[in-house]
Amino acid sequence: MSELSYLEKLLEGVEVEWLPLGDIGNFIRGNGLQKKDFIEIGFPAIHYGQIYTRYGLSADKTFTFVSSELANKLRKAQKNDLLLATTSENDVDVVKPLAWLGEDAAISGDMMLFRHEQNVKYLAHFFQSEIFQTQKMKYITGAKVRRVSSGDLAKIVAPIPCPNNPEKSLAIQSEIVRILDKFTALTAELTAELTAELTARKKQYNYYRDQLLSFKEGEVAHLPMGQKDIGEFVRGGSLQKKDFTESGVGCIHYGQIFTYYGTFADKTKTFISESLAKKCRKAQSGNLVIATTSENDDDVCKAVAWLGTNDIAISSDACIYKHTLNPKYVSYFFQTELFQNQKRQYITGTKVRRVNADNLAKILIPVPSSQEQSRIVSILDKFDTLTNSISEGLPREIELRQKQYEYYRDLLFSFSKPEAVTY
C-alpha cells in the first residue's frame, strides 16, 4: 500500500475542521535581540534572519548564543513552538516557519513564536503549503519590507483533524508529518545527487570552453576587441529601474545581467516607454550587452548576447559591443579564463569594481574563421543547455524534484473545505 493510500484509509470518516490560527494557539512577538549581541558560548538564541539562511523546516539546536543576563530580558521559544520570521523583502519568504524541537531559546524582534498544542512539524509543513500561502497574501503589508501582523495571522485557517479528540488528532498529524518527512528526505537526497552531477558537468564545461577558445600561438590571430574591423564599445544610457513599464520597448538593466540573463537572450525581462527609448542607447541583434560594474572582480564584465529581432535600450553601468563576429562566440569568450586574465589588469575602484569601455577595447580575442566560430558555439550550446537551462538539463531536473515534493505536500493538506472558508 502506498503512503498516500495508507493515509487515505487512515483519514476515512475522520472529521477535519478548518480553524483560525488564533483559536489554535497564541502569537507572541520576539524582542530586543540583535546580531551584535551574539557570543561564542551562552544561552541559545535565534535571530529572525537565520530562519532564511541557516535553518531548514525544523531544528533542536541554535547556531548562536547570547549572555544569560540578556536572555533574561528576551522572549524565549519553548519546545514545540513554531517560530516565524515575519518580515522579508519578498512575499514568498515572509512568515517563513521553523519548528522548534529544542530547549528554551531566546528570539529576536521581527519574528514571532506560535504557541499551541498541535504537532509543530505538521504546522510548519502547513505554513509552507500553497493553501497557507494563498491566505497569507491578502494580509501582507509594507513596501520595501513586507510583513504580516499577528492579528492577521490569527485569521488564517488551518485544517485540524479530529479537533475534539486531541490524541487521535495528534496521531493523524504525526502520520502526515512522517510521510512529508520521507518525501523531504528523498527530495533532498535526489537534489544532492543532481547538484553534485551539475557541479561536475559545470567543471567539465568550463574546461572544454577554455580549451576550445585557447588556440596555439600562430594558429589564429589574437586581435584587440576595439580594432576597427572587429568591433567597438558603446556606453549605455541613463535608463534606471524606476523607468520600467508593463510593456513598450525592451530594455536590459545592467543588474539583470547578473541575476536573470545567461549567455544569450532573445527576449527582455523588462520594458520602458517608447518616448524614453528614443533618448536611450540601443543594442541591436547580435550585439553584446556587458555589465561594466560589479561588487566583485569575477562578475564585472559579465555579458549577454542579444539575439532578439528588435533593438533594445541599455542602462548606464553597461555597454554595448557592436562587432563582426559570431555573437555567441564572443559571449562565450567573455566567460573564459583567457578573457578573465586580461580583464583583471584593467579593473579599478574599491567597493564598486569597474572596467571602462576604452580598456575593454584593448583586450585580445582569438578570431578563427566564421565556420570555426560556429563549430565552437554548437559544442558549447550543448554544454550550456545541460548546465544552465531552466527548461531543459540538470537545473530543470532539480527544480522538478522540489515541485514534486510541493505537489504531495499540498495534496496532503487539501482536505475538503467548508464553503465558509474562502481566500
The answer for residues whose C-beta is within 8 angstroms of residue 208's C-beta and 6 or more apart is 379, 380, 383
Domains delineated in the chain: 16-161 (3.90.220.20), 221-367 (3.90.220.20)
More confident residue, 346 or 2: 346
Parallel, antiparallel, or unpaired for β 303-306 and 288-291? Answer: antiparallel
Largest Cα separation within the chain, whole Å, is 84
Q: Which three cell numbers stand for residue 106?
A: 531566546
Query: What does the radius of gyration of the chain's CA atoms come to, in whole angstroms?
Result: 27
Q: Provide the edge-to-edge strand list for the sheet that holds 318-323.
A: 231-235, 318-323, 288-291, 303-306, 264-265
The neighbouring-strand residues paired with 313 are 251, 282
Distance, in Å, from the CA atom of 65 to the CA atom of 42, rounded to the nearest integer, reads: 5
Mean of pLDDT values over 52-70: 95
Adjacent-strand bridge partners of 85 = 96, 111
Q: Which of 142, 34, 36 is nearest to 88 (CA)?
A: 142
Give me the pLDDT at residue 148, please. 95
Say whether pLDDT at 419 is over 60. no
Which residues make beta-bridge pairs with 29? Answer: 112
CA atoms within 13 A on the CB side of 210: 11
Say what the pLDDT of residue 390 is: 59
**pLDDT over threshold 70, residue 422:** no
The amino acid sitting at 358 is D
Q: Assess contact for 32 and 66: CB atoms under 8 A.
A: no
- Candidates 166, 163, 141; CA nearest to 152 is 141
Question: If pLDDT is split at 50, 70 and 90, which confidence band does 296 have?
Answer: very high
pLDDT digits (tens, 9 = 90+) for 13-39: 678 899 999 999 999 999 989 899 999
Its pTM stands at: 0.63
Q: What percent of the chain has pLDDT over 90?
A: 71
Mean pLDDT of 192-213: 87
CA distance 305 to 290: 9
Task: Record the cell numbers describing residue 19, joined without a space.
Answer: 480553524
The DSSP result for 50-117, as a single string, is HHHHT--SEESS-SEEE-HHHHTTS-EE-TTPEEEE-EESSTTTTTEEEEE-SS-EEE-SSEEEEEES
Residue 1 pLDDT more than 70?
A: no
Rounded Cα gap, residues 243 and 252, in angstroms: 11
Q: Is the pLDDT confidence value at 142 over 80?
A: yes
Residue 344 confidence (pLDDT) above 80: yes
Cell of 161: 483533524
List, as one string, the DSSP characters of 234-292: EE-----GGG-BSSSEEEE-HHHHHHT--SEESS-SEEE-HHHHTTS-EEPTT-EEEE-
Answer yes or no: is pLDDT of 217 > 50.
yes
Local structure of residue 18 (DSSP, 8 states): E
Provide the terminal-to-terminal Cα distance of the chain, rounded to the nearest Å.
34
Mean pLDDT, residues 343-368 taken together: 95
Look at residue 5 in the predicted model and tell me its pLDDT.
62
Question: Does residue 3 surpass a pLDDT of 60?
Answer: no
Average pLDDT of the chain to the nearest whole number: 90
DSSP annotation of 216: P
Q: What is the pLDDT of residue 149?
A: 95
The predicted pLDDT at position 2 comes to 57
Q: Is the pLDDT of residue 193 over 70?
A: yes
Give the residue-averaged pLDDT of 322-339: 96
Amino acid of residue 113? L
Q: Strands across the sheet with 43-46, in order? A: 64-66, 43-46, 105-107, 76-77
pLDDT for res 327:
97
Average pLDDT over residues 63-87: 96
- 330, exposed or middle or buried, with CB in 10 Å at 0-12, 13-18, 19+? buried
Q: Which amino acid is at 356?
A: N
Cβ 37 vs Cβ 109: under 8 Å: no
Question: What local confidence, expressed as pLDDT, does residue 14 receive?
Answer: 76
pLDDT (tens digit per residue) in 225-276 = 999 999 999 999 888 889 999 999 999 999 999 999 999 999 999 999 999 9
Q: What percent of the chain has pLDDT over 70?
A: 94
Collapsing DSSP to helix, strand or coil, 380 comes out as helix
Give the pLDDT of residue 145.
92
**Has residue 91 got a pLDDT over 50?**
yes
CA 85 to CA 97: how far, in whole Å?
A: 7
Is the pLDDT at 42 greater than 80? The verdict is yes
CB–CB of 213/366 below 8 Å?
yes
